[in-house]
């Protein structure tokens, strides 16, 4: 099994970066009858695709193709639902005073260069209503696995063939993520699936026809169109002159293959043989969902980014929905998202861990009077962020300043 079949000629060393130039091409395959036009932009052709028939089927991996297949369902595993201990909840949040609200607003105004600050200085608070917003987050950390045939140049590296034992199943190969709740992916060679085959791209020759000269080692001179000379006008007459670019030959040595007509095979790195094996792709993915419960007109997405207080946190193989939080909307959101994650991830992936938490973010709605108008703004988060869409002095050029 492990013997390396060598067919065709000896691998050659010239490649894209070869230096020794020759006058006689050595390429043995199909060559066009005439020089091809020089084209500095000619691109190498795509490597040929191998045939699946060349590869021995591996027991348990009969359906593996060259493309990464869909995820392989994980083996069934115990769904240990740990009864949820009553979480310790700290729902007391700080209140915002008038001084703090005004200071936060002045700070907000100073960050907007066009805003006038006299309104923030002079406005009169009519009331400040404290409230609490809740930010619930659920994370499900799962693992999925898929397989495909993969290859690399064979350069004499150790080969783990079927001779050393049957290939383990995709879920029998142990692999640990670096950290929980962080997405990452990894490729692993499935043990006992490797074999050495002649390169399908170069038929084990180690080199392929040059894409620039099509194997001729020469290209037609673009300057004289292959004639070796050109006409020039001088002293009112036409003269014929040697082409300086090709020294009158009409053709030039190919600069890609330096006259060899062939270049190193990129698939086998000029080795002639490739190692085939079944590659397992392991993906760890952290699925995160969240929900904001916010009763005022403050946009919910602002709450998600604001600092708050952790009221509850739990981490389990599988979490139970929160059901005893003082705010029923949080229990509802938890019920819904935990159900969603169960449906979405527990069948297609092996779930390694779940965690969820509730943060409480303080929100103060500050009502005020300025000149003859009544309005409001919001102060939220432990860092006292401000949301003031109706601030009366948004333009300093005089348009709204009275």
CA distance 278 to 57: 10
Q: What letter would DSSP give residue 336?
A: H
Percentages of the chain per state (helix, strand, coil), in multiples of 5: 10, 30, 55
Q: Which of 93, 119, 257, 366 binds Zn ion (CB under 5 A)?
A: 257
- Asked whether 60 and 169 are in contact (CB, 8 A), the reply is yes
Binding flag, residue 58, Zn ion (CB under 5 A): no
- Beta carbons of 170 and 350 less than 8 angstroms apart: no
Instruction: Give dist(CA 45, CA 53) in Å, integer.
Output: 23
Q: Which is nearer to Zn ion, 26 or 332 (CB)?
A: 26
- Determine if 202 is a binding residue for Zn ion (CB under 5 A): yes
Q: Which of 377, 375, 381, 303 is nearest to 102 (CA)?
A: 377
Among the listed residues 93, 268, 319, 360, the single contact to Zn ion using CB under 5 A:
268
Q: Which is nearer to Zn ion, 225 or 295 (CB)?
A: 225
Residues 291/333, Cβ–Cβ less than 8 Å? yes
Q: Which is nearer to Zn ion, 243 or 366 (CB)?
A: 243
Q: Tell me the closest approach of the beta carbon of residue 267 to Zn ion, in angstroms.
A: 5
According to the binding rule CB under 5 A, does residue 388 interact with Zn ion? no
| Residue 267 interacts with Zn ion (CB under 5 A): yes or no | yes
- Among 245, 289, 304, 332, indicate the residue that binds Zn ion (CB under 5 A): 245
The gap from C-alpha 282 to its chain's centroid, in whole angstroms, comes to 14
Judged by beta carbon, residue 51 or residue 88, the one nearer Zn ion is 51
CA–CA distances in Å: residue 274 to residues 9, 11, 13, 50, 167: 16, 13, 17, 11, 20
Out of 123, 256, 386, 388, the only residue in the binding site for Zn ion (CB under 5 A) is: 256
138 binds Zn ion (CB under 5 A): no
108, 135, 212, 218: which one contacts Zn ion (CB under 5 A)?
212
- Looking at the Cβ atoms of 256 and 322, the one nearer to Zn ion is 256
Question: To the nearest whole angstrom, how small is the minimum distance from the Cβ of residue 219 to Zn ion?
Answer: 7
Q: Which stretch binds Zn ion (CB under 5 A): 49-57, 249-257, 308-316, 336-344?
A: 249-257
Q: Which stretch binds Zn ion (CB under 5 A): 244-252, 285-293, 346-354, 388-396?
A: 244-252
Distance in angstroms (rounded) separating the CA atoms of residues 287 and 143: 11
Instruction: Assess 223 for contact with Zn ion (CB under 5 A).
Output: yes
CB of 157 to Zn ion, least distance (A): 16
Residue in 213, 282, 358, 363 binding Zn ion, rule: CB under 5 A: 213
The helix (run of H) or strand (run of E) holding residue 351 is strand 350-370
Contact pattern from residue 146 through residue 185 relative to Zn ion, giving x for each residue in contact according to CB under 5 A and a dash for the rest: ----------------------------------------
* Backbone phi, psi, residue 30, to 5°: -65, 125
Considering only 55, 119, 128, 210, the residue that binds Zn ion (CB under 5 A) is 210
How would you list the strands of the sheet with 36-37, edge to edge? Answer: 36-37, 218-220, 251-253
Nearest by Cα to 314 from 304, 329, 324: 324
CA angle 130, 133, 139 (to 5 degrees): 160
SS3 140: strand
**Which span (176-184, 258-266, 292-300, 335-343) binds Zn ion, by CB under 5 A?**
258-266
- The window from 16-24, 63-71, 178-186, 235-243 that contacts Zn ion (CB under 5 A) reads 235-243
Residue 109 binds Zn ion, judged by CB under 5 A: no
Q: Give the rounded distance of the alpha carbon of 175 from its chain centre.
A: 21
**Which lies closer to Zn ion via its Cβ, residue 212 or residue 385?**
212
Minimum distance, C-beta of residue 71 to Zn ion, in the bound complex (Å):
32
The answer to whether 277 and 188 are in contact (CB under 8 A) is no
Nearer to Zn ion, 208 or 363 (CB): 208
DSSP per residue, 24-45? S----S---SSPEEP-TT--PP
Nearer Cβ to Zn ion (255/382):
255
Instruction: Please tell me the count of residues contacting Zn ion according to CB under 5 A.
Output: 18
The Cβ of residue 57 has, within 10 Å, a number of other Cβ atoms equal to 11
Which residues would be at the binding site for Zn ion (CB under 5 A)?
199, 201-202, 210, 212-213, 221, 223-224, 243, 245-246, 254, 256-257, 265, 267-268
């Amino acid at each position: 099994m492990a013997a390396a079949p060598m067919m065709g000629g000896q691998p050659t060393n010239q490649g894209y970066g070869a230096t020794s130039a020759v006058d006689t091409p050595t390429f043995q395959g199909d060559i066009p009858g005439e020089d091809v036009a020089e084209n500095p932009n000619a691109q190498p052709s795509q490597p040929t695709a191998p045939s699946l028939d060349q590869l021995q089927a591996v027991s348990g991996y009969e359906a593996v193709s060259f493309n990464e297949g869909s995820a392989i369902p994980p083996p069934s595993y115990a769904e240990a639902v740990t009864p949820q201990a009553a979480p310790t909840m700290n729902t007391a949040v700080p209140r915002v005073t008038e001084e703090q609200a005004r200071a936060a607003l002045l700070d907000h105004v100073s960050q907007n260069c066009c805003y006038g600050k006299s309104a923030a200085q002079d406005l009169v608070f009519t009331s400040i209503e404290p409230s609490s917003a809740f930010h619930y987050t659920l994370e499900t950390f799962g693992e999925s696995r898929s397989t495909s045939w993969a290859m690399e140049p064979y350069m004499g590296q150790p080969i783990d063939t079927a001779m050393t034992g049957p290939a383990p199943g995709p879920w029998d190969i142990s692999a640990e993520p670096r950290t929980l709740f962080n997405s990452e992916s990894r490729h692993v060679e499935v043990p006992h699936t490797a074999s050495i085959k002649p390169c399908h791209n170069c038929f084990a020759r180690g080199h392929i026809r040059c894409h620039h000269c099509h194997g001729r080692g020469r290209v037609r001179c673009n300057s004289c169109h292959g004639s070796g000379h050109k006409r020039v006008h001088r002293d009112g007459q036409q003269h014929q002159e040697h082409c300086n670019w090709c020294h009158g030959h009409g053709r030039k040595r190919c600069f890609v293959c330096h006259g060899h007509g062939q270049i190193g095979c990129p698939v086998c790195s000029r080795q002639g043989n490739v190692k085939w094996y079944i590659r397992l792709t392991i993906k760890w993915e952290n699925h995160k969902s969240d929900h904001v419960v916010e009763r005022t007109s403050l946009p919910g997405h602002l709450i998600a980014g604001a600092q708050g207080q952790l009221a509850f946190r739990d981490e389990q193989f599988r979490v139970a929905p929160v059901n005893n939080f003082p705010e029923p909307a949080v229990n509802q959101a938890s019920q819904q998202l935990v159900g969603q994650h169960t449906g979405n991830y527990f069948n297609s992936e092996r779930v390694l861990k779940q965690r969820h938490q509730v943060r409480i973010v303080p929100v103060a709605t500050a009502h005020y009077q300025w000149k003859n108008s009544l309005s409001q703004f919001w102060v939220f988060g432990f860092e006292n962020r401000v949301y003031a869409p109706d601030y009366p002095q948004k333009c300093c050029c005089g348009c709204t300043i009275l």
